[in-house]
Amino acid sequence: MPEGYKVRDTSLASEGRASIEWAERHMPVLMELRRRFSGEKPLEGLRVAACLHVTKETAVLAEALRDWGAEVYLAPSNPLSTQDEVAAALATSGIHVYAWRGMSGSEYQWALETVASSRPHIVIDDGADLHVLLHGDLRDAASQVVGGTEETTTGVIRLRALEREGRLLYPVYAVNDALTKFMFDNRYGTGQSTVDGIMRAANILLAGKTVVVAGYGWVGRGIALRFRGMGARVIVTEVDPIRALEAVMDGFTVASMDEAARVGDVFVTATGNRNVVDERHLKAMKDGAILANAGHFNVEINVEALEGMSVSKRRVRRYLDEYVMPDGRRLYLAAEGRLVNLVAAEGHPSEVMDMSFSNQALAVLRLAREGKGMERKVHRIPREQDEMVARLKLETMGIKIDELTEEQKRYLQSWK
Ligand code: NAD
Ligand code: ADE
């Protein structure tokens, strides 16, 4: 069993603790659930392995699971997203965390292998790297897993592919697909934190800029909305005709990336797809264009092509690299093409992670109770869980809603 923890510097723990307490204040639903179940210890004797961005919000989830009796093992979901002070606070409060900002590819792999080798009963993931490891090289460590959860769209896509091939080893809850997750986290969380990340990386004026958003899914919609709110002219690119039409009727300009590449000042990818900004687009871009990615993996902008085309590269700001093209144009890549909102900023604000991680926590409780009897497939979060999270969130916001009367219920069920 892996022992202890590995973080950058445990002397950062008190800074991390203050930050976690700030998140707790803004995550009232998760804190209420944590309080409700702490007495009965529903996860006693269970090992939970998690691959999540190590942020103050993840800390609130990890400590809730610990309070419910679990032994928690935590690896990061990205080599650049760890908040070192938070990792330090977790390490000194009983969470087995193996994460530091700027870890190499092999250190990231080591962290995943370390948490997988805890022989977990429950696996929480954001992007499915841990699930995939437990279905491949570390398959033996999966024999006692009763179930897993998945936080993001790209991870759910990977798990559905495993299910289609009949290779899924345990049931998985698609937490991403809960209404109280994707409608809020993907849209408003990523919308706000992506603007935040680009501002911290580049600190440019957005008013009057042309911002190109690739993908008009839940993430792209939020990003387009928030950039418009900052006074930018937003162009959306899509491959899905219905979503493209939706973007048009939401008032955005829709164009192909070939057209948009020539006019954009800032490009943000949010598709979950690869090479959406490709070599030919990079060749067409204006001097000074800024490139950022909000999708899960760093494959959406063809960084390899950018590296290959450029005659020189230098870091001009903490999260901004300048690439000089043979014709003298300079292109700027934020956060090395990784999730800009988590690398250059702090990820989604706590209020929205409150709902995502309440869904994670409730899914873990369900798996602990029922996982053994569940089919090995990707499961939807039950509607009643979504409604419970939404009701609790409204309650904590002091918002009351109406209830159907008996007469209204009968009316809505009648064909007359
Ligand atoms: P989604 O499926 O709702 O939307 C993706 C959209 O991209 C779709 O409309 C699709 O048609 C479009 N698309 C695909 N290929 C394209 C291409 N070549 N050009 C233009 N459009 C294309 O998914 P989503 O929930 O919006 O998630 C998008 C990505 O963001 C995923 O990788 C997801 O895991 C990630 N994500 C990141 C964060 C974050 O914190 N940065 C948060 C949530 C989700
Ligand atoms: N994904 C996006 N924002 C996040 C956050 N604040 N914490 C953990 N995972 C996240």
Here the tokens at position 92 are 């000194």
Residue 248 and residue 176 share a domain: no
Task: Please count the structural domains in the chain.
Answer: 2
pLDDT at position 36, please?
97
DSSP letters of 190-232? HHHHHHHHHHHHH----TT-EEEEE--SHHHHHHHHHHHHTT-
CA nearest 2: which of 155, 108, 120?
A: 120
pLDDT at 114 over 90: yes
pLDDT at position 342, please?
98
pLDDT at position 111, please?
98
Q: Which ligand ends up closest to the CA of 157?
A: 1
pLDDT at position 397, please?
97
CA nearest 214: which of 303, 281, 126, 283?
A: 281
- In this structure, is residue 122 part of a structural domain? yes
- Give the distance (Å) from ligand 2 centre to CA of residue 350: 8
- In this structure, is residue 403 part of a structural domain? no
pLDDT at 48 over 80: yes
Hunting for tokens 């690398």 — which residue is that? 343
Arithmetic mean of pLDDT, 303-311: 98
pLDDT at position 277, please?
98
Residue 43 and residue 125 share a domain: yes
pTM above 0.95, yes or no: yes
- In this structure, is residue 408 part of a structural domain? no
Pairing of strands 320-324, 330-334: antiparallel
pLDDT at position 43, please?
98
- Give the distance (Å) from ligand 1 centre to CA of residue 186: 9
Tell me the C-alpha distance between 30 and 23, whole Å: 11
pLDDT at position 126, please?
98
Enumerate residues 6+ apart whose C-beta is below 8 A from 179.
Answer: 386, 390
SS3 45: coil
Residue 371 and residue 331 share a domain: no
Question: For ligand 1, what atom is nearest to the CA of residue 127?
Answer: 34
Arithmetic mean of pLDDT, 210-238: 98
- Give the distance (Å) from ligand 1 centre to CA of residue 127: 13
Closest residue by Cα to atom 4, ligand 1, is 217
Residue 171 and residue 59 share a domain: yes
Arithmetic mean of pLDDT, 44-66: 98
Q: Where are the beta strands (DSSP E) in 86-167?
A: 96-97, 122-125, 147-150
The response to whether residue 353 sits with its C-beta less than 6 Å from ligand 2 reads: yes
Are the beta carbons of 309 and 348 closer than 8 angstroms? no
| CATH number of the domain residue 167 falls in | 3.40.50.1480
Arithmetic mean of pLDDT, 5-12: 98
pLDDT at 325 over 90: yes
- In this structure, is residue 404 part of a structural domain? no
Q: At what angle do helices 350-370 and 56-67 cross, to 10 degrees?
A: 30
Residue 64 and residue 102 share a domain: yes
Arithmetic mean of pLDDT, 26-33: 98
Residues in contact with ligand 1 (CB, 6 Å cut-off): 152-154, 182, 186, 190, 214-220, 237-240, 243, 270-273, 276, 294-296, 339, 341-342
pLDDT at position 2, please?
77
Tell me the C-alpha distance between 271 and 237, whole Å: 10
Arithmetic mean of pLDDT, 113-123: 98
Instruction: Tell me the pLDDT band of 3, cut-offs 50, 70 and 90.
Output: confident
- Give the distance (Å) from ligand 1 centre to CA of residue 212: 14
Residue 376 and residue 231 share a domain: no
User: For 267-299, how does the pLDDT look when each residue is reduced to its tens digit (9 = 90+)?
Assistant: 999 999 999 999 999 999 999 999 999 999 999
Last residue of a domain, one of 343, 376, 411: 343
User: For 146-178, how does the pLDDT look when each residue is reduced to its tens digit (9 = 90+)?
Assistant: 999 999 999 999 999 999 999 999 999 999 999
Are the beta carbons of 86 and 20 closer than 8 angstroms? yes
Which domain covers residue 293, as residue numbers? 190-343
The mean pLDDT of the chain is 98
Residue 384 and residue 239 share a domain: no
Residue 284 and residue 252 share a domain: yes
User: For 389-407, how does the pLDDT look when each residue is reduced to its tens digit (9 = 90+)?
Assistant: 999 999 999 999 999 999 9
Are the beta carbons of 59 and 91 closer than 8 angstroms? no
Residue 303 and residue 155 share a domain: no
Instruction: Tell me the pLDDT band of 1, cut-offs 50, 70 and 90.
Output: confident
| CATH number of the domain residue 303 falls in | 3.40.50.720
Q: What percent of the chain has pLDDT over 90?
A: 99
Residue 168 and residue 28 share a domain: yes
∠355-127-67 over CA atoms, to 5°? 50
Q: What percent of the chain has pLDDT over 70?
A: 100
Are the beta carbons of 365 and 358 closer than 8 angstroms? no
Residue 312 and residue 231 share a domain: yes
Tell me the C-alpha distance between 403 and 385, whole Å: 18
Last residue of a domain, one of 308, 326, 343: 343
Residue 93 and residue 160 share a domain: yes
SS3 290: strand
